[in-house]
Chain A
């Protein structure tokens, strides 16, 4: 916001203790429009059509679902330069129960024509993605975790919209783990556990779920005994579905394809993110366990 005078940030009354400094410095270009997701997206579109690059920020389920039609009509159909930012992806706000979980957002945002969907894997990817999206024109969904997400990359990350980021291991490994968003760290930890048990696993971060890096995904998946997708999201419609679509249409040669995510349920239990991940088999030891079982099957 410092380098450009055309960037505006709108929040639907979220961001307490996050945005105060920004609000002080950029009082005119920071707007809290109140708890009004539908009209806020309309307002964001109106500003964008008048020349601004607009970020609209609130919790992921509300940013995408409360105002889905407005995103579809006001933003996507009119190609308005609005970036929807959903915070607290997956179980980020786990204590508050299922209304505050976001397990369908990648799926629905992916389905909108012309929408770029980005789920950065760690703070470095988030910084790079934010800059890249601000430079780009057109609609986008940026799905982020909460404060203090663990680092995956040490040093600068080579980030390009629409491209996978290989984290470790090479294409053609016997096991490839594709992670997105706040599950990339889990993929790295899972790979370490697999390595201890003699399975060589490559880890790939897929920050751009749409448009998907088809060539990158196919080259890393092909030939694997196990290719797995990891997401804090339903296994319906998110990364798992996107990769499955691509492998099916490109004659992918994966022996066993596994989707790790939420198996089509709401979670009616309070809990930390770790507790909730455990309920859905999304901790590294659980994922590694299931992958090793698959390896033992032959």
Chain B
């Protein structure tokens, strides 16, 4: 078991790596990448049984919120899935490290960024594991805005019906989508109740609190698929970005980098 102190340190390092990547490439999506840092750090440090040897019985993680890929790249690099220096090419001409999750990168299990694909693919992989009596688990991280897509609800219906308890969904509930606030555009509330009605076991946590994250993963139930609704802050980690939707799009500039040097 990894200490919370170590997890927090790791989270800070990941935020630095992500900032470097995005600034260097003048890329988008820093705020979306920051809201999932604690979740991904916890998954790869303390929960997922997976490494770069890609055993058949490994746990599989699908970042359905594929535009948050810079965080996953940073985590995978630190875990030795590929050389960290390769991330210098992130989003640059000719680089295979694109601004979206692609299966061609070692450690990425599904090509996502177009929304609503990750959970159905996860259901398929979980069904395969069941058929093969493979103990591997499948974890899918979705965005809240992504839950507008009908294909997501088809998969939620299916997983509940099949009682897929080797499938774990996490929702990065940072309350913002592309154009503005989720509650203004297409309100998901009452959100936990919807998953429960579709026969999932539901937990709601603070997605930036390692103790709550760890607790939730300890309390996963058998006989039903599990969802962890993680309440997060878009842009979490840099005070100037937190909760401001323009950071979905803008590349951080000098001012932000200076703040980062202090805060990270």
Contact = CB atoms under 8 A, between A and B. Distances in A.
Interface of A: 8, 28-29, 31, 33-34, 36, 38-52, 69-70, 73-74, 77-78
Question: Which secondary structure characterizes the binding site on chain B?
Answer: helix
Contacts of A40: 120, 154
Given A49-B121, A77-B111, A42 B132 contact: no
Contacts of B157: 34, 36
B129 interface: yes
Contacts of A38: 116, 120, 150-151, 154
Question: Which secondary structure characterizes the binding site on chain A?
Answer: helix
B128 interface: yes
Given A49-B121, A50-B132, A74-B121, A39 B127 contact: no
Given A50-B125, A77-B111, A78-B111, 9 more contacts: A33-B158, A36-B154, A36-B157, A38-B151, A43-B121, A43-B127, A50-B124, A74-B110, A78-B103
Q: Which of B124, B125, B131 has the most CB of A within 10 A?
A: B124
Contact of A36 (B124, B132, B158): B158
Interface of B: 103, 109-111, 114, 116-117, 119-129, 131-132, 150-151, 154-155, 157-158, 161
Nearest to B102: A77
A73 B183 CA distance: 29
A81 to B, nearest CB: 12
A48 B110 CA distance: 12
A47 B130 CA distance: 11
Given A50-B132, A70-B151, A77-B111, A39 B125 contact: no
25 contacts: A8-B131, A36-B154, A39-B119, A39-B123, A40-B120, A42-B117, A43-B120, A43-B124, A43-B158, A44-B124, A46-B110, A46-B121, A46-B127, A47-B128, A49-B121, A50-B128, A50-B129, A51-B128, A51-B132, A52-B128, A70-B120, A73-B114, A74-B111, A74-B121, A78-B103
